[in-house]
Amino acid sequence: MPDYKPNYFVRAFALLALIAALVLVVVVVVTTSSGGSDNGDKGGGGKPDVSKVGRKAVRKGVWVVQPGDTLGKISAKTGIDEDTLLQLNPDLDPQALLEGQRIALR
């Protein structure tokens, strides 16, 4: 049986690949859990700019998801915080909104 010689280059490369993968996971988790800056807030700490369509939807109490809608965009258009929307809709998956899906606003 031949003598076994460990390949230190491959071991070092594997360690670096593992570290890179962990860094990538941390970056993805941090950027997706921050909620993004898509909430319509103007940065002054005031209320978000609520659209006419958003006010109408709030009066009806339901938002019908349109193509391109995200939870952040819906929050900005209605003036309702994303966390509140998630509390009102516990079965809602914000990453998988479907066109025509109804979201409770109150």
First-residue to last-residue Cα distance in the chain? 74
User: What is the CATH superfamily name and number for domain 52-104?
Assistant: LysM domain (3.10.350.10)
Q: Over 50: is that where the pLDDT of 53 sits?
A: yes
* Alpha-carbon 90 to chain mean position: 15
Does the structure show a pLDDT above 70 at 101?
yes
Question: How does residue 33 score in pLDDT terms, banded at 50, 70 and 90?
Answer: low
- Quick one: pLDDT at residue 10? 87
Rounded distance between C-alpha atoms, residue 24 and residue 53, angstroms:
38
- Strands (DSSP E) contained in the chain are 62-64, 102-104
pTM across the whole model: 0.50
- Confidence (pLDDT) at 48: 55
In the prediction, which pLDDT does 1 show? 62
Cα–Cα nearest to 33, from 74, 77, 86, 69 = 86
